[in-house]
Structure 1
Amino acid sequence: MATTDAQRRSGPSAAYTAPSHFFHVGDTVLVRRSYLHAAAAGVYRVVATLPPSDGQFQYRVRNDEERYERVVAQDRLEPFSAPASSKQDTLIKRTFDRG
């Protein structure tokens, strides 16, 4: 029983890694809409990472078309990657170029 108490007092084992935020300040994300949380469609930028609430990491996000920031749980966010413009330009050029 003494070893169990000593293990508890020493903290987590060396193999344990604490969960961390998936997104970071400056990341571009999409917010999933739900019937409880209406969010303007579009792309949001992570402004700040917040501590967990109800077991979910939270983020402060901002859409350039809104005048305020939103607090959103991590499970409602998706990473956003803009399409590569060079590939798109090449495809358009190949498709519609007549010269």
Structure 2
Amino acid sequence: MTTASFRQRHASQSAGDAGEHLLSIGQSVRLKSAIGNTTGQTQVYRITGMMPASAGAPQYRIRNAEENHERVALQDELELVDTAGLNAKATLMERTFGHGQGTKA
């Protein structure tokens, strides 16, 4: 194997490092830009899936509890939300499925 063929063979591996997923499924995030946000409020999304990189940038499926669909966002468009203080006293079931808001008797 020549040096040139070694570089060609391993070039895709080193290029893939730039497309590494830094976020995990289940983490809470918000979109950095407010494009399409007509309410002026920042919405919190939960990562529901990881997708292959597009143009070298990792992609994620995200979902907001108030929407009936998922969105796809690039890693560069997302920022982590600190929910430690918000959900510190909530149980795992409440953090996962909400607090049952709409089921009050």
* TM-score bin (small chain): 0.5 to 0.7
Structure 1 counterpart of 2:3: 4
- TM-score scaled by length of structure 1: 0.64
CA distance 1:8–1:57, shift in 2 (3 Å): same
- TM-score scaled by length of structure 2: 0.61
CA distance 1:84–1:41, shift in 2 (3 Å): closer
Give the residue type in structure 2 aligned to 1:76: E
Tell me, which stretches of 5 or more residues in structure 1 are unaligned? 86-99
* 1:7-48 C-alpha deviation (Å, 9 max, x unpaired): 236636xxx5834201111111111224xx425731100000
Instruction: Give the total of aligned pairs.
Output: 80
Q: Percent identity at matched positions? A: 33
Q: Is the partner of 1:18 in helix, strand or coil? A: helix
Give the residue type in structure 2 aligned to 1:72: A
1:27 is aligned to 2:31: no
CA distance 1:5–1:69, shift in 2 (3 Å): same
Regions of 4+ moved over 3 Å: none
How much is the aligned-residue C-alpha RMSD, in angstroms? 2.6
CA distance 1:65–1:53, shift in 2 (3 Å): same
* Distance (whole Å) between structure 2 residues aligned to residue 52 and residue 10 of structure 1: 20
Tell me, which stretches of 5 or more residues in structure 2 are unaligned? 87-105
Mark the structure with the bigger radius of gyration.
1
CA distance 1:29–1:7, shift in 2 (3 Å): same
